[in-house]
Structures are given as structure tokens and as C-alpha cells.
Amino acid sequence: MRSLSKPTFTNLEVLNLCLTATPDVGLHTRLLAISNNLDIATTAYDVNATAKTLNLVPRVDTVGHVTKPELTSLYSDHMSKTNGVARHIYDSIRSLAPYKKCPLCGVGTVATLDHHLPKSKYPDLAIFPCNLVPACHFCNDTKKARYPRLPGQQTLHPYYDAPLFSARWMKATLDQGPPLVIIYEASPPATWPAIDQERVRRHFIICGIGVTFSSNANDELAAHKDMLVKLHRQGGAVAVRGHLLEQVEKYSSRTNSWQLSMFEALANDTWFIDVGFNSIA
């Protein structure tokens, strides 16, 4: 999971490109007539996203005389379509994620753009670049048409929630089994504002992070078993802990990664470094 810089494209830039590819004179005229309405909607989005109040953004069915299907078609016909007139903007936003890692889960590969507020409920934001976030298929599918009714229901927004991405809230714990497995939970500090605590917990659940992280962690742990057994034979618990602390150091900059939380939990567990590593499947 990570924050990203906002796209620099404006809604008007995208709309103007869409207009160049709209030969239907009637639709062209109706779209031009709502240009100001869309500008107001996108400004309100920016204000609310900054204030962490995207739950206040109104859901709409039509804008002026332009229908929801016509608005959402701007995205599907001109942005996401391979030969769409604004496809280069779609590609540019998708490339904002370093190494093509999904910013929402930090594990999947970016494959698409996710409408942070879904276009089925907010068609006036269908082509707004700041509402389009690089995402893996899983995160995109699991969010679907979900939208926040309350402040605490807002999932994390990579363009607006940098502090919540950089603060530590991921926690791993050991289930001794056998077999030993790593379990994850969103565990924000109790000193955080209640809404921020709710938001990271919501994000954790909506993006299926517990299952994804556990799957990756338990697979990685299995690959470490032979080395841990060997280290323990050579240098006891001290050697095992030393290796685990090296891993903690390696992942120290990846704040809420499954790796950092897992290796910290293992290094600090006396049962694990004494004998528990033998319980890895």
C-alpha cells in the first residue's frame, strides 16, 4: 500500500478530448452545456477528498440533459478503450504506481483504473483523473459499486491520504497451530481520531488484505524454514533472531507491508525463535 502523486490532467482536458471524438451534434452540444457543472463537481470532490469527507459527495443520475450511460460511456469509449482518444491519459494514470504494484493492497499488479467513487453512482466523476486510481483486478473487483455513506466507510485514497499510508497500522500475529500461520489485522493506534481508525479497518476488509497478506506470508515462511532450522543448529535462538531482525531492517521502509509486520512478530516471539520455527508447514 502506498500513496501516489495526484494526476496532473484536468477533467476539462479529458472532456475536451472526448468532445473531439463525439460526432453526434446533439450529444456534443449537451456535453458542452454541462462543462461547468462537471467543473463544480470535480472541485467539490477535491475539497471533500482533502477534508476526508467524500461521503458528502452527492450521487447523481443525470447532469443537465446528459444521462448516466452517456457520462459513463465517455470513460469506456474514450479513456479505457484501447484506441480511445484519451487512452494516453488512462495509460499515464495507470503508470503512476511504481513497479506496477497496486497502491490499494501493495501486492497485486496494476491492471486497470479503479473509480474511487464508482461511476455507477457518480457518473459526473467518470472521467475525473483524481477519481481514477491504478489498481489490481482484485481490488477493483472487490470495491465494485461500494461507496461511503459515513466518514468511517471511506477506503484509503492514494492521492489524498498519504498520512494514513505512511503511519503504521498493520499488525501480524502468530497462530502456533500446528501448522504455524501468520494472521493479519488492521490495528491503528488508539490515539488516532476514531474516523481514521475506522477507515484503515474498512480499507483492510474491503481490499481483502488479511487473506492476501496471510497467503503471501505463509508461503514466504515455508521458504525460510530450512534456513531457520540450520541457523538454530549453529547458533541457537540468537542466530534465528538475528536473521529475522535482518529481514525487519530490509523491509523497514515498507511501513504496512506484510513482510515488515511478519518478521517483526517472529523476531519478537520467544517461542518461535526457540522452537516454533519447527511448526512451519
And the C-alpha cell for 39?
Answer: 467543473
**Closest approach of Cβ 131 to Zn ion, in Å?**
17
Q: Where are the alpha helices (DSSP H) in 79-193?
A: 87-94, 137-143, 162-166
Whose Cβ is closer to Zn ion: residue 139's or residue 266's?
139
And the C-alpha cell for 23?
Answer: 460526432
Tell me the three state secondary structure of residue 185.
strand
| Binding letters toward Zn ion, positions 73-102, x by CB under 5 A | -----------------------------x
Distance between CA atoms of 199 and 155, rounded to whole angstroms?
6
Whose Cβ is closer to Zn ion: residue 19's or residue 206's?
206
**Closest approach of Cβ 186 to Zn ion, in Å?**
15
Beta-bridge partner residues of 113: 134
With contacts defined by CB under 5 A, how many residues of the chain interact with Zn ion? 6
List binders of Zn ion among 97-126 (CB under 5 A): 102, 104-105, 108
Nearest to 206 by CA among 105, 91, 119: 105
**Count of CB atoms within 10 A of residue 46's CB?**
16
Q: Which of 136, 186, 267, 273 binds Zn ion (CB under 5 A)?
A: 136
Torsion on CA atoms 207, 211, 217, 221, rounded to nearest 10: -170
**Closest approach of Cβ 102 to Zn ion, in Å?**
3
Whose Cβ is closer to Zn ion: residue 108's or residue 129's?
108
**Closest approach of Cβ 211 to Zn ion, in Å?**
12
List binders of Zn ion among 161-200 (CB under 5 A): none
Say whether residue 139 binds Zn ion (CB under 5 A). Answer: yes
**Closest approach of Cβ 158 to Zn ion, in Å?**
11
Nearest to 273 by CA among 152, 180, 147, 168: 180
Sites of contact with Zn ion (CB under 5 A): 102, 104-105, 108, 136, 139
